[in-house]
Amino acid sequence: MKSLRQFMEELSMVTIVMIGGPGSGKSTYSKYISGHFDIPHIYTGDMMRDLQKRDPEVAKIMDRGDLVPIEKVMKALKDRLGKDDTDNGYILDGFPRNMKQLTRMKQENIDYKYVVYLNVSEKEVIKRLTARGRKDDKPEIIKNRLKVYEKETGPVVNEFRKSQRRFIEIKAEGKDEKSIAADIIGEIEKRG
């Protein structure tokens, strides 16, 4: 059983899931939130890009814009969550990305208090990704990542929306970055 101290500690943790399509600005806003609440930004995209250098199977998958196998993602994620700096909370950027990952998240008791969903129109996403020029930001791969997002991550967004947790939907376009970041932080603090 949890001790009262453990329980109090968990209550004060700020645990956030950032969710949204490719180019929605998840990592940009995660950095603001991470700085504001002093919690680590746990970014599976960067973790997988790192793994890609050492793992040819992962490299092939990512070059197509497809999702990395769940066991590899879970291993990297659990190692990262095991570090001491997650005591105050964390922000998960890029996980869970499909229903299977959401199920595993629950099984492994990876907690979250807030879900921040960044809603951006497809037109704006294509504009942003084309301008960004990351290795996997080529038109064909972008199209595939968008397709994967809709099919795999769309149902996860619907699940979160229905859940009892604090679901924060933000229209992440048409305003400058700093004001959108301030909107998100304001919503989180408002909900307590």
Question: Considering the complex, what minimum distance in angstroms separates the CB of residue 145 from ligand ADP?
Answer: 5
Nearer to ligand ADP, 66 or 183 (CB): 66
Nearer to ligand ADP, 33 or 67 (CB): 67
Question: Considering the complex, what minimum distance in angstroms separates the CB of residue 121 from ligand ADP?
Answer: 16
Question: Considering the complex, what minimum distance in angstroms separates the CB of residue 129 from ligand ADP?
Answer: 7
Nearer to ligand ADP, 41 or 145 (CB): 145
Residue nearest to ligand ADP according to CB distances in the complex: 45
The binding site for ligand ADP (CB under 6 A) comprises 22-23, 26, 44-45, 48, 62, 65-68, 73, 94-95, 97, 101, 145
Question: Considering the complex, what minimum distance in angstroms separates the CB of residue 179 from ligand ADP?
Answer: 22
Q: DSSP for the chain?
A: ---HHHHHHHHH-EEEEEEE-TTS-HHHHHHHHHHHHT--EEEHHHHHHHHHHH-HHHHHHHHHTPPPPHHHHHHHHHHHHTSGGGTTEEEEES---SHHHHHHHHHTT---SEEEEEE--HHHHHHHHHHH--TT-SHHHHHHHHHHIIIIIHHHHHHHHHSSSEEEEEE-SSS-HHHHHHHHHHHHHHH-
